[in-house]
Amino acid sequence: MASMERVRDFLSQKRLAFVGVSRQPKDYSRALFREFGARGYDAVPVNPAIAEIEGCRCFARVQDIEPVPDGVVLLTSPAVTEQVVGDCIQAGVKRIWMCRTVGKGAVSARAVGECEAHGVSVIPGECPFMFLKGDYQQGGGWVHRLHGFVKKLTGSYPN
């Protein structure tokens, strides 16, 4: 489970890469990408199959981004997460958030171990929407607040 200290540290960064942003405008990954951008983050999309997302240049790999992002949000399958974590380490990224909405999400135990072995602060799971304060530009804020409330009730919310 992630700690609130790591969550706050991650969210205090301003330049974040979003790996695995979908080409589908209604996809969760796109809504998350848009929400961070609407909140003033320098949101950088990463997807090797797309040249541009929401008017932003889309990078093929984390190593292609200059300057290096302060953190990386992984919206990938666990198998892809393992590869991308290696890319992040090579690029010098110090913070990684492996998103989880349902199922395993982007979380891979092996990738978490790689992060820890290389001194990368990792949040293995959790939906970033749950931790964003105030109104949501992309709508659906009540769903994310409810999700956080249920996790608090069950004792699975980060301390």
| Per-residue model confidence (pLDDT) at position 92 | 97
Query: Does 150 have pLDDT greater than 60?
Result: no
| Distance of alpha carbon 75 from alpha carbon 97, whole angstroms | 9
Tokens of 66: 């200059």
CA 92 vs CA 67, 96, 132, 151: distances in Å: 10, 11, 26, 32
User: Which fold, 4-154?
Assistant: Rossmann fold (3.40.50)
For residue 57, what are the β-bridge partners?
Answer: 52
Q: What is the pTM of this model?
A: 0.85
For residue range 51-83, list pLDDT tens digits in order.
Answer: 999 999 999 999 999 999 999 999 999 999 999
